[in-house]
């Protein structure tokens, strides 16, 4: 299943189980959001679009294949960790963030976190193959959260978090060294492909 998201995290959930096999991982996430899910529905977990394979009461389960584990930060998660959750966009919903596919492009690493008035400035290092799609005042999804890029240089970029974002998402607990999922604006990738063909 494929969903379109906005990067406006609805709530967080708690990871209650990770069943690891040689084929992948099955996650069990506890959240009130499970009440809105049915088997087969898409749900973004830390910005990764997954399919709810089982739903019961206050939790849901989703399978994570090897490709997703290699490209995202879902692999190192442990029982008890908090995760950002978002349901797909409905045709009647407002598009308050930006178009997010839930297809993680790669990982970044938190380089620095510092206070900036009531906001928090977070510096994220990332590889050049992702950084070429990141522009100042453009959009990026960090662990599924739609954010505006404050600054870009050759090593990475910065985003600024308002108190509401820190309180409602897992980004409030970011610290240097932590890996984060990054999804760049898909429009940048399409433009690049079209220009290369021209």
Same domain, residue pair 25 and 57: yes
Q: Is residue 94 part of a domain?
A: no
Which conformational region is residue 177 in: left (phi greater than 0), alpha (psi within -120 to 50 degrees), or beta?
left
| Residue finishing a domain among 86, 119, 135 | 86
pLDDT tens digits, one per residue of 110-126 = 999 999 999 999 999 99
- Cβ atoms of 4 and 88 within 8 Å: the answer is yes
pLDDT band with cut points at 50, 70 and 90 for residue 144: very high
Report the share of the chain in percent with pLDDT over 90: 78
Same domain, residue pair 193 and 121: yes
In this predicted structure, the answer to whether residue 182 has a pLDDT above a threshold of 70 is yes
The CATH number of whichever domain residue 25 belongs to comes to 2.40.30.20
Q: Is residue 91 part of a domain?
A: no
Q: Which long-range CB contacts under 8 A does 150-155 form with residues at least 24 apart?
A: 150/121, 154/128, 155/111, 155/125
Q: Is residue 3 part of a domain?
A: no
Same domain, residue pair 113 and 80: no
Q: Look up residue 108 and give its two tokens.
A: 């970044």
Task: Determine the structural domain holding residue 16 and report its residue range.
Answer: 11-86
Q: Is residue 111 part of a domain?
A: yes
Give the C-alpha separation, 22 to 124, whole Å.
31
Q: Is residue 116 part of a domain?
A: yes
The pLDDT, as a whole number, for residue 189 is: 82
């Amino acid at each position: 299943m494929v969903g379109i998201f906005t990067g406006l995290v609805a709530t967080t959930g708690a990871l209650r189980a990770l069943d690891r096999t040689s084929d992948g991982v099955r996650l069990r996430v506890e959240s009130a959001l499970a009440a809105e899910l049915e088997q087969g529905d898409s749900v973004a977990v830390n910005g990764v679009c997954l399919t709810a394979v089982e739903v019961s009461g206050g939790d849901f389960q989703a399978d994570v294949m090897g490709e997703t584990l290699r490209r995202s930060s879902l692999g190192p998660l442990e029982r008890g960790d908090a995760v950002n959750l978002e349901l797909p966009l409905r045709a009647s919903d407002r598009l308050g963030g930006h178009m997010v596919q839930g297809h993680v492009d790669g990982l970044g690493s938190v380089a620095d976190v510092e206070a900036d008035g009531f906001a928090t400035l977070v510096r994220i290092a990332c590889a050049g193959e992702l950084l070429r799609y990141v522009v100042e005042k453009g959009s990026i999804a960090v662990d599924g959260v739609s954010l505006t890029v404050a600054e870009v240089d050759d090593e990475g970029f910065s985003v600024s978090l308002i108190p509401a974002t820190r309180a409602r998402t897992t980004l409030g607990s970011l610290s240097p060294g932590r890996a984060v999922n990054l999804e760049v604006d898909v429009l940048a990738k399409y433009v690049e492909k079209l220009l290369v063909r021209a």
